[in-house]
């Protein structure tokens, strides 16, 4: 990375990490994504039951391969052979797993995690159930505040995910949300009925946690996911 830019990004990372810790959210900095699988192998005890939310970051970083092929019981909700009822059962099993893996749509420098979900299984598991939750995210997910977080989803993350998931949405075609901007009174809100086939049903902001370090962020010093 260009050194001047790197210096500024490091300041953003430092501020973000300090505020996550103040919010009882554990955080570690990992300079390169290539080190993630080895680190996860140390962090997740052998024999653990592991589940995950859908995430390009997990796939890109090699973590999904690790938990699918390592000494773990992986609850695979994305197995294409599952019918709707079987998928639902896997989601319910995820709430009782030892370790849940997810990314976040954004992380604010104020120490908040921001996740947007369509079917809600991911935000539900991050909120409650699994003993330990690891949030794996590249530094590209850091934003100043929740308004920036919402705009990041509206203009990049959700449109890209709609392409990935083959969703018939406005943002997939136009590259931004049907309600493209937001303000501090209407953060992610979309006019009722304006997007009925989308992936933005629920908007989760995680601030100060009562259980210290149940949630732990692995912040990677490069771009990952979207």
Which spans of this chain sit near ligand SF4 (rule: CB under 6 A)? 154, 158-159, 162, 169-171, 177-178, 190, 195, 198-200
In the complex, what is the shortest distance from the CB of residue 201 to ligand SF4, in angstroms, rounded to a whole number?
Answer: 9
User: Which C-beta is closer to ligand SF4: that of 141 or that of 154?
Assistant: 154
User: Which C-beta is closer to ligand SF4: that of 47 or that of 193?
Assistant: 193
User: Which C-beta is closer to ligand SF4: that of 49 or that of 140?
Assistant: 140
In the complex, what is the shortest distance from the CB of residue 196 to ligand SF4, in angstroms, rounded to a whole number?
Answer: 9
User: Which C-beta is closer to ligand SF4: that of 16 or that of 169?
Assistant: 169
In the complex, what is the shortest distance from the CB of residue 149 to ligand SF4, in angstroms, rounded to a whole number?
Answer: 13
User: Which C-beta is closer to ligand SF4: that of 107 or that of 162?
Assistant: 162
In the complex, what is the shortest distance from the CB of residue 140 to ligand SF4, in angstroms, rounded to a whole number?
Answer: 18
Q: Which residue is nearest to ligand SF4 (CB)?
A: 198
76-111: b or e for each residue (b if 16 or more CB lie within 10 Å)?
Answer: bbeeeeeeeeebeebbeebbebbbbbbbbbbbbbbb
In the complex, what is the shortest distance from the CB of residue 143 to ligand SF4, in angstroms, rounded to a whole number?
Answer: 16
């Amino acid at each position: 990375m260009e050194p001047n830019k790197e210096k500024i990004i490091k300041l953003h990372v430092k501020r973000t990490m300090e505020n996550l810790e103040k919010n009882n959210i554990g955080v570690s900095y990992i300079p390169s994504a290539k080190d993630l699988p080895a680190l996860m192998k140390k962090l997740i005890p052998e024999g653990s039951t592991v589940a995950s939310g859908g995430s390009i970051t997990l796939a890109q970083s090699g973590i999904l391969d690790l938990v699918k092929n390592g000494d773990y019981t992986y609850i695979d909700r994305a197995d294409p052979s599952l019918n709707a009822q079987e998928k639902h059962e896997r989601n319910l099993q995820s709430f009782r797993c030892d370790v849940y893996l997810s990314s976040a749509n954004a992380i604010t420098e104020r120490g908040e995690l921001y996740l947007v979900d369509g079917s809600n299984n991911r935000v539900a598991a991050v909120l409650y159930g699994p003993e330990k939750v690891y949030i794996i995210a590249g530094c590209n997910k850091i934003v100043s505040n929740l308004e920036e977080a919402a705009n990041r989803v509206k203009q990049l993350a959700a449109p890209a995910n709609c392409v990935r998931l083959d969703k018939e949405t406005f943002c997939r075609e136009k590259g931004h949300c049907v309600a493209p901007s937001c303000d501090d009174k209407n953060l992610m809100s979309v006019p009722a009925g304006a997007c009925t086939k989308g992936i933005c049903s629920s908007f989760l902001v995680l601030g100060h946690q009562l259980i210290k370090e149940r949630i732990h962020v692995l912040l990677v010093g490069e771009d990952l996911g979207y």
